[in-house]
Homo-oligomer: A and B are copies of this chain.
Amino acid sequence: MLKILVVEDDWEMNRSICYILEENGYETVPAHSIVEAQKVYEDGKADLVLLDVNLPDGEGFGFCEWLRERSRVPVLFLTARDLEEDALRGYELGAEDYVTKPFSMKILLKKIDVILKRSREDQGQIFDDGFLRIDLIRARAEAGGKDCQVTPTEFRLLREFLAHRGQLLTYDVLLERLWDEGNQFVDRHALAVNINRLRGKIEDEDHRYISNVYGMGYQWFGQ
């Protein structure tokens, strides 16, 4: 489950934010000061940090910097201070967003959802239906629960398909992007062989992902 660190000194506010987040399927850890937040973070990291600016032992900006020195966890500022310069400062420190109170909880939830999805995509499975799971950072694929050894070339194909799901990728485009020379005649066959090998690893009678468009190229289906 995804864990959100909520740094907010108003206990009532903190509790209600945590409550709503938990109702929406997140795990939450509350902190009411910078020191507490640091301790909590070092204990068990977090997937996202909701951060107030006004805290009893300093400004949230400082904690944000402290975080940036040790990780790239996304930070979302959540504050009553509606000053342009504060927002700018937040963004400069690498925050994902700067939301001022009062705010719509629905929109906050949506933003959190978007940020977490994005940060997972940055480092992790950009693709995961029940059957096939592809981990872009580790260059690994899993089909039907079993790790299928994807070779570098096959993985480049996967990445290309996932970056343009649903779109037709012509032979020329694929050849150019994977081999960086437009070897038109000869290597169209090599491409077919690699597609074939990839299919053999990730497909199934019930799970087809790559389809051929006669005379044109290939196309990725699914999600």
Query: Which A residues contact B (CB, under 8 angstroms)?
Result: 69-70, 72, 84, 87-88, 91-92, 97, 104, 106-107, 110-111, 113-114, 121-123, 137-139, 152, 156, 159, 163, 166-167, 177
Contact = CB atoms under 8 A, between A and B. Distances in A.
Given A84-B106, A114-B91, A122-B122, A69 B138 contact: no
A167 B88 contact: no
A194 to B, nearest CB: 15
Contact of A88 (B69, B107, B166): B107
Contacts of A167: 70
A215 to B, nearest CB: 21
Contact of A91 (B111, B137, B163): B111
A60 to B, nearest CB: 17
A88 B70 contact: no
A141 to B, nearest CB: 14
Give the dominant DSSP class at A's interface.
Answer: helix
Given A84-B106, A137-B163, A152-B152, 15 more contacts: A84-B104, A84-B107, A87-B104, A87-B107, A88-B106, A88-B107, A91-B110, A91-B111, A91-B113, A92-B110, A123-B163, A138-B177, A139-B139, A139-B152, A139-B156
Pairs of residues from A and B, 4 with the lowest C-beta to C-beta distance, nearest first: A91-B110, A84-B104, A152-B152, A87-B107
Contacts of A156: 138-139
29 contacts: A69-B166, A70-B167, A72-B163, A84-B104, A84-B106, A84-B107, A87-B104, A87-B107, A87-B110, A88-B106, A88-B107, A88-B110, A91-B107, A91-B110, A91-B111, A91-B113, A91-B114, A92-B110, A121-B122, A122-B122, A123-B163, A137-B159, A137-B163, A138-B156, A138-B177, A139-B139, A139-B152, A139-B156, A152-B152
